[in-house]
Amino acid sequence: MKRFAAIFCVAVLLAAMLTGIVSAKGADSGLLLAGGNGKIDRFLRIFVDEGGYLQVLRGLKNTMLIAVFGLAIGIVLGTLVAAVRVMPKYKRLPRLLNRICSVYVGFFRGTPIVVQLLLGYYVLLPALGLNYPALYVCIAVFGLNSGAYVSEIMRGGIASVDIGQMEAGRALGLSYSAAMLHIVIPQAVKNILPTLGNEFISLIKETSVVSFVGTLDIYVAFNAIGTNSYEFMVPYLAMALIYIVLVAAVTALVRLMERRLARSDRNISSH
């Protein structure tokens, strides 16, 4: 069902694009694929002839770098934070760590990511006297932001794993952290994989704010094409299409991973 929905969405967007293209063409010359001043031609001139596609590719690379590394950092950080938050809290250290983690999660969930980017790049970095490329700052901020969200997702995932799994691990002599790492978290990840996929998708889409700190992404690249050609419809539609393709690809990937991980649930005997 979901696959049909995805295909349907892509189809609608393509139709919208085509309509736009045809009407643009029509308005100019009345002939499809003819005429020198059509919106498509203006777009193509900048996009192909003047090397606009190189910018787009560079932007796409940055978008993916930020989303992929952001999610990777987010998963590691989020898992650690979640593990701290579900830790038994008899001793002082876990309680202190827990306090720190809840402040961290509260801040990153409580403020928009644009604010975090601006604070990181224009306030924190100069205050520390550091000078990193904006791209690195973006990756760091998206990682930290994603970590806060993933920690909540992961906490739910850990809670969904039967307590008996942890107990069986501990009863065999594994430490709390080893049982967490090898027994509970793999099962938690399996349970939350669709939600993690969604997190990745929203991360990809949220990267469109990185231009606030001057990072080149898909939006900046297409916006430049639009500015150069005095025509924004085709570039923005193309941008939307790229986002849709990215999201569809991620969705398919998550689906594939889910299916592979579901092996242990299937009721077939192994031969």
Partner 1 sequence: MIEISHLTKKFGDLTVLDDVSLKIEEGERVAVIGGSGSGKSTLLRCMTCMEDPTSGAIYFEGENLADWQVDINLARRKIGMVFQQFNLFSHKTVLQNITLAPVRLQLADLKAAKRKNFRNKLINPLRKNKKPMLPTGRTKKEIVAQAEETAFDLLRKIGLEDKADAYPSTLSGGQKQRIAIVRALAMHPKLMLFDEPTSALDPEMVGEVLELIRRLADSGMTMVIVTHEMRFAREVATRVLFVDKGKIAEDAPPEELFNHPQDPRLQEFLKKVL
CB closer to partner 1, 12 vs 171:
171
- Helix ranges (DSSP H) in the chain: 2-28, 39-44, 52-86, 92-110, 113-118, 125-128, 134-160, 163-171, 176-179, 185-206, 218-229, 233-261
Q: If binding means CB under 8 A, how many residues of this protein chain bind partner 1?
A: 26
Residues 222 and 63: their CA atoms lie apart, in Å, by 13
Residues 144-173 that bind partner 1 (CB under 8 A): 162, 164-165, 167-173
**Looking at 56, 82, 101, 183, which residue binds partner 1 (CB under 8 A)?**
183
| Minimum separation from the CB atom of position 101 to partner 1 (A) | 24
3-state secondary structure of 32: coil
59 near partner 1 (CB under 8 A) = no
If one asks whether residue 268 binds partner 1 (CB under 8 A), the answer comes out as yes
Structure tokens at 145: 């932001």
CA distance 141 to 121: 9
Cα–Cα distance measured from residue 257 to residue 153, given in angstroms and rounded to the nearest whole number: 18
Answer for which of 61, 89, 190, 255 binds partner 1 (CB under 8 A) is 190
Per CB under 8 A, the segment of 8-16, 50-58, 137-145, 184-192 that binds partner 1 is 184-192
Candidates 28-36, 135-143, 181-189, 235-243; binding stretch for partner 1 (CB under 8 A) = 181-189
CB 231 within 8 A of CB 42: yes
Given the rule CB under 8 A, which residues bind partner 1? 162, 164-165, 167-175, 178, 182-183, 186-187, 190, 263-270
